[in-house]
A and B are shown apart, each in its own frame.
Chain A
Amino acid sequence: MDKFTEFKNIVTDPYAYCRKYKEETGKKIVGYTCSYTPEEIIYAAGALPFRLFGTDEGIHRADMHLQSYCCSLVRGILEEGLSGRLDFLDGAVFPHTCDSIQRLSDIWRLNVTPQFHIDLVLPVKLNTTSARQYLIDILEKFKKDLERALGVKITDATLSDAIKTYNQIRALMMQLYAIRAQRPEIMSGRDFHSIIKAAMIMDRQLLLKKLGEIVAQMQNAPGSKIPPGTKKLVLTGSICSHPDIYDIIENAQGVVVWDDLCTGSRYFEGVLDEKAPPLEAIAQRYLDRAICPAKHVGLTDRGESLVQMVRKHQADGVVFLLLKFCDPHAFDYPYIKEMLDSENIPCMLLDMEEQLPAGGQLQTRFETFIQIL
């Protein structure tokens, strides 16, 4: 049994994991849609935060609510909600991001019952004093909403505790990513992908323990540096739900050394200030962290931070993973590409529909791209 088996099992059948978890612990489970969810508050309420990934298969219920031009992520999440397969959830929280998620929240509230439903209408601007204040206010409101829904009291002590736990988890994730970026041979991209996905599902104390073990092992593991000739890539986009991409890249003599993904670095980057009042600390992390394109900070910061990321990790190129019908990312693509071009950083665009293009074809595309690097 390899050291990643536990993570892989959770990712293969997260629902079974959750049902069992609930049975064994009696704890509540709260679904959420994106990395702007203050998991710390859910954790402090004694519940398990569970990221909704949706499904690509057998969609028919969601088609009764969403037209054909909706992204597969939103459609897939709704399908799972309507199917009843998420009946282990006690409720779900919808942080405001893009127009599609905004409407998903309404449709879910009206059709997926009887679980509780909370909207967390975050500010869209993250660069002003009033937005910061609003963000803190709305986190306070979320805390109260959650207390009511779960019938618990969230104290500053439990919040501080949650913040410490999350700081440790995130620090370990960062370390793991960094080790992997240096020595990709000791851990495949697919394995890393399983870990990060499992991190948004499994019991966080168990996660912390497992991550600690793995990082310790990795640090001591023999393993060579990046083999000569291997090209280093950075991925950017919303989410990557196709672990095959890592295999394809590795088969084409590439390696992903960092990413700007909602299911990647945007999830674990940023440290919470343990001395600040808890909600302010949570708010501050969102204000400082790399943003999702549905948020506004400046005019060029996403492009700049991508260039910086490439430089920092000495990457050779960038791969855009654009989900079809995802407006925020599609609007940013041309300017960011232009910025990369002017910095002489090669990039390739991968338009993703629900399913990836047939394996061989994609393999060739990556090989061609990696060869020119």
Chain B
Amino acid sequence: MKKQISEILKIIVIFLFGKFKKFTLRFKKSKSMKDIMMVYYSEAKSARLTGKKVAWITSGGPVEPLIAMDVIPIYPENHGAMIGASKMGAGLCETAENMGYSSDLCSYARSDIACATVNGGPIGGLPKPDMLVCCNNICGTVLKWYEIQARYFNVPLFVLDTPFCHTGYSDEVARYVRSQINEYISFIEKACGRKFDYDRVKKVGHLSFQGQQLWQAVLDTAANKPAPMSAFDAFYHLALIVTLRGTPEVIDYYTALLAKMKDRIARGIGAVPNEKYRLLWDNIPIWHRTRWLSDKFASHNACLVADTYTTAWCGSMKYIDESNFINSMAEAYTRIYLNIGVDEMAKMVINMIDKYDVDGFVLHSNRSCKPYSFGQMDIQRIVEKERGIPCLMLEADMVDERTFSESQISTRIDAFMEIIKERKKHSPANETVS
């Protein structure tokens, strides 16, 4: 048995090493997203053999302490997005429904729960977890979902409970979350069987902060006219700040990406060749239709220049204290975009409208994600009142494509774009533009 494992290990190491070599040859400046993700998933899949631990963690979860302890973090939500993008959502959701899960539940959760039992999906299932870390700063769904996986895999579950901040951050909440950070560290120590590395987490925290700054800088480039990248590009490049936050790879990758965007700006290249209209996107992408939607908007010379979703991974930087990452983590992870009141979200949306100077607002009313979607109708009203720009609400699902009606959505986008074109024709700003 032992011999067998070491044989397999050898093969995997050769495989990985070979890959690495290939990457470094092919990608002198920066590795491609696909390659980084492939290495990341192969490493995670061979964790059993390399003696590393794997933790499944929610997308808004505090990953830095795990990285500081060499635990490989795996994000079922990122996996859900991949399932959606590869149009495998409907099948897996159906499997979950056959297991008794209602079709009205979050499709990330449904597809992941199903995938764990059949090892399906685009990468043949996720590597099994040694522990689960669930932070409920995004929703209550993740709590139920992680409870299900904790029962299925029979591994310890840590819940970081970040009370919802309807109208601010109270002292009571601050104390509660801060004490849970200590509990979290003890949990990791127990799972890893060694003392927590406080020096290392400082470095990881620093890298995480730097990564977030760079990601924000990349997104900021879209304020340029024409925008060198669109929200659809952001959806793609997002994967790293989600999955590898706190590692040097992220820094290298986004540094290179930022340079590329700046270069495009210098050369006047836009993501949409003939950008005339600029739009803001709200909610999680419709993963099974990103290409189609991108083409659809581009056919109207419209570019989705920004979105509320990808900024969520750098939106609470203002709460991070770089010199004391562990301490400030509590607040930074509690006051994220989805964990605040509807009016505060609307304020952030309006800031983005101004910053990116957009002509319209597209809201994906996402059947899967209730905390993101309920309140959208109020946000829409606030935006219409405060900024008077046209808004379009599209009802769909991020992963489960079964209810998506291409023709209907297409007609609605056309009608929406007509309104925008009409308004822009008559807008005073347009008259001064040559």
> Which residue numbers of A lie inside 8 Å of B, CB to CB?
64-70, 96-100, 102-107, 109-111, 119, 121-125, 128, 130-131, 133-134, 137-138, 141, 293-294, 296, 299-300, 322, 324-325, 327-328, 330-335, 337
Chain A nearest CB from B349 CB (Å) reads: 14
Question: A123-B161, A335-B148 are contacts. A67–B373 as well, Cβ < 8 Å?
Answer: yes
**Of listed B145, B342, B343, B367, residue having the most chain A CB within 10 A:** B342
- A300–B152 CA distance with the chains assembled, in angstroms: 12
Residue of A nearest to B369 (CB): A99
Q: Which of A98, A122, A327, A337 contacts B105 (CB 8 A)?
A: A327
- A334–B147 CA distance with the chains assembled, in angstroms: 12
B140 pairs with A110, CB closer than 8 A: no
Chain A residues, CB < 8 A from B395: 67-68
Residue of B nearest to A349 (CB): B100
A131 pairs with B161, CB closer than 8 A: yes
B163 pairs with A121, CB closer than 8 A: yes
**Of listed A324, A325, A327, residue having the most chain B CB within 10 A:** A327
Task: Confirm or deny: B150 has a beta carbon within 8 angstroms of a beta carbon on chain A.
Answer: yes
Task: Confirm or deny: B144 has a beta carbon within 8 angstroms of a beta carbon on chain A.
Answer: yes
Task: Confirm or deny: B265 has a beta carbon within 8 angstroms of a beta carbon on chain A.
Answer: no
Chain A residues, CB < 8 A from B104: 69, 324-325, 327, 330
Q: Which of A109, A128, A324, A325 contacts B183 (CB 8 A)?
A: A128
Chain A residues, CB < 8 A from B374: 66-67, 70, 99-100, 103-104, 107
B141 pairs with A99, CB closer than 8 A: yes
Q: Which of B159, B166, B180 contacts A106 (CB 8 A)?
A: B166
Chain A nearest CB from B382 CB (Å) reads: 9
B144 pairs with A141, CB closer than 8 A: no
For the complex with contacts A106-B375, A134-B175, A300-B151, 20 further pairs of A-B residues with Cβ separation under 8 Å are A65-B378, A67-B376, A99-B139, A102-B166, A106-B343, A107-B342, A109-B167, A111-B378, A119-B167, A121-B164, A122-B163, A130-B180, A133-B179, A141-B172, A294-B143, A327-B140, A330-B101, A331-B145, A332-B144, A335-B151
**What string of 1s and 0s marks CB contacts (under 8 Å) between B161-175 and chain A?**
101111100101101
Question: Sorted from nearest, which 8 A-B pairs have the closest CB atoms?
Answer: A334-B100, A331-B144, A103-B374, A134-B176, A106-B342, A330-B102, A137-B172, A99-B371
Chain B nearest CB from A142 CB (Å) reads: 10
Chain A residues, CB < 8 A from B139: 99
> Which residue numbers of B lie inside 8 Å of A, CB to CB?
99-102, 104-106, 109, 136, 139-141, 143-145, 147-148, 150-151, 157, 159, 161, 163-167, 170, 172-173, 175-176, 179-180, 183, 341-343, 365, 367, 370-371, 373-378, 395
Chain A residues, CB < 8 A from B151: 299-300, 335
B365 pairs with A99, CB closer than 8 A: no
Chain B nearest CB from A334 CB (Å) reads: 3
B377 pairs with A67, CB closer than 8 A: yes
- A337–B175 CA distance with the chains assembled, in angstroms: 38
B101 pairs with A102, CB closer than 8 A: no
Question: A124-B136, A296-B159 are contacts. A327–B141 as well, Cβ < 8 Å?
Answer: yes
Question: A106-B375, A121-B166, A330-B102 are contacts. A100–B370 as well, Cβ < 8 Å?
Answer: yes
Chain B residues, CB < 8 A from A66: 374, 377
- A148–B168 CA distance with the chains assembled, in angstroms: 18
Chain B nearest CB from A319 CB (Å) reads: 16
A337 pairs with B144, CB closer than 8 A: no
Chain A residues, CB < 8 A from B377: 64-67
Chain B residues, CB < 8 A from A130: 176, 179-180, 183
Chain B residues, CB < 8 A from A332: 144
Chain A residues, CB < 8 A from B164: 96, 102, 119, 121
Chain A nearest CB from B379 CB (Å) reads: 10
- A254–B343 CA distance with the chains assembled, in angstroms: 49
Chain A nearest CB from B150 CB (Å) reads: 6
- A66–B379 CA distance with the chains assembled, in angstroms: 12
- A325–B371 CA distance with the chains assembled, in angstroms: 13
Q: Which of A67, A96, A106, A322 contacts B341 (CB 8 A)?
A: A106
- A34–B215 CA distance with the chains assembled, in angstroms: 41
Chain A residues, CB < 8 A from B371: 99, 102-103
- A141–B100 CA distance with the chains assembled, in angstroms: 40
Chain A residues, CB < 8 A from B161: 123-125, 131, 296
Chain B residues, CB < 8 A from A133: 175-176, 179
Q: Which of A103, A121, A123, A293 contacts B342 (CB 8 A)?
A: A103
Chain B residues, CB < 8 A from A70: 370, 374
B342 pairs with A138, CB closer than 8 A: no
Chain B residues, CB < 8 A from A138: 163, 172
A124 pairs with B144, CB closer than 8 A: no
Residue of A nearest to B152 (CB): A335
Chain A residues, CB < 8 A from B375: 103, 106-107
B143 pairs with A296, CB closer than 8 A: yes
A327 pairs with B106, CB closer than 8 A: yes
- A64–B374 CA distance with the chains assembled, in angstroms: 11
- A109–B340 CA distance with the chains assembled, in angstroms: 13
Contacts A/B (CB < 8 Å), 12 sampled: A67-B374, A67-B377, A69-B373, A70-B374, A102-B371, A103-B342, A104-B374, A109-B341, A130-B176, A137-B176, A296-B161, A332-B144
Residue of B nearest to A106 (CB): B342
Residue of A nearest to B374 (CB): A103
Chain B nearest CB from A226 CB (Å) reads: 31
- A121–B172 CA distance with the chains assembled, in angstroms: 10
- A107–B380 CA distance with the chains assembled, in angstroms: 13
A334 pairs with B101, CB closer than 8 A: yes
